[in-house]
Amino acid sequence: MPETQWTAADVGDQTGRTFIVTGANSGLGEVTALTLAGAGAQVILACRNVEKANVVAAEIGANATVRQLDLSDLASVRAFANSVDGVDVLINNAGVMALPLRRTADGFEMQIGTNHLGHFALTGLLFDKIRDRVVTMSSGLHAYGSIDLDDLNWEHRRYDRWRAYGQSKLANLMFTYELQRRLDAAGSSVRSVAAHPGYAATGLQAHTESIFDRLMSVGNRLIAQSAEMGALPGLFAATAPDAEGGRFYGPRGLGNLRGHPVKVGSTKKSKDEDVAAKLWTLSERLTGVTNFIT
């Protein structure tokens, strides 16, 4: 992408296009939905908390549709996917961060289950209906993660909430790269793109149920950029004609924590094609969503 300061004003006319934004009831998802709808798009707000999503939809108006989606429950993911006729861009935005150990409806560790496996299943179930691209939100904290293929769901290891979060965000990034490799092999025109918001002030940091909630509330005031700025890399990935499949976009500032979107790097682990292929196979087995790229 050119070395310019890309902003929401550069989203361009999205009239006639449909976007799904998971977790669009608050934070980055809310900003993303509002921006896309303001550019003329039809936006499906796919949210666990429908009551909060309805508030955002009311602000948007006729261009918004609210649908219930709980990524921590594969039955909900399937029901949502069955309700969608077609979509130009799927934005896998929803997520949880640094929670105490708990499990999804299907028995997965909550962070890998929601952030990765839920979105993996959603993408697979919607794949034949996606016309343009899949955008998956990761994090700079993917660097703190490792994929444990023998204990993805923390059934045998001592649980560490931050390592679990890092694993889930690394999985998001590896899924993006592996999806693009499979799209290329299939000759598909669909693009798989990753993005991260840097350090953006959102409600995500207020739900760790630990002292980190207080610490990060201070960081939000002193260090973080706004949710509006944090949403830009994802918006670029979702709308820019020159957003490249298999690439990662984030803020350009120091440490990729703040600033306008640019192409950014990722760890050596995120580019391990062998682990990525095995993670894909494991994700298929755990979710039951298989063979969606032919």
What CATH number is associated with residue 165? 3.40.50.720
Q: How many domains does the chain have?
A: 1
| Residues sharing a CB contact under 8 Å with residue 164, sequence separation 6 or more, in sequence order | 98, 109, 111, 112, 154
Q: How far, in Å, CA of 51 to CA of 32, rounded?
A: 18
* Residue 7 covered by a domain: no
Domain that residue 205 falls in: 13-287
Q: Is 165 a catalytic residue?
A: yes
Q: Please name the helix (run of DSSP H) or strand (run of DSSP E) that holds residue 134, with its range, or none.
A: strand 130-137
Question: Could you list the pLDDT tens digit for every one of the 294 residues in the chain?
Answer: 444 699 999 999 999 999 999 999 999 999 999 999 999 999 999 999 999 999 999 999 999 999 999 999 999 999 999 999 999 999 999 999 999 999 999 999 999 999 999 999 999 999 999 999 999 999 999 999 999 999 999 999 999 999 999 999 999 999 999 999 999 999 999 999 999 999 987 665 444 555 555 554 545 455 689 999 999 999 999 999 999 999 999 999 877 788 999 999 999 999 999 999 999 999 999 999 999 997
* Residue 152 covered by a domain: yes
Q: Cβ distance 153 to 113 under 8 Å?
A: yes
* Residue 1 covered by a domain: no
* Residue 3 covered by a domain: no
CA distances from 241 to 90, 128, 252 (A): 16, 21, 19
Q: Which one of 159, 165, 177, 199 is the catalytic residue?
A: 165
pLDDT at position 66 is 98
Q: How far, in Å, CA of 28 to CA of 86, rounded?
A: 23
CA distances from 17 to 87, 90, 195 (A): 8, 11, 20
Structure tokens at 103: 């499990």
* Residue 293 covered by a domain: no
pLDDT at position 258 is 84
* Residue 8 covered by a domain: no
* Residue 254 covered by a domain: yes
* Residue 5 covered by a domain: no
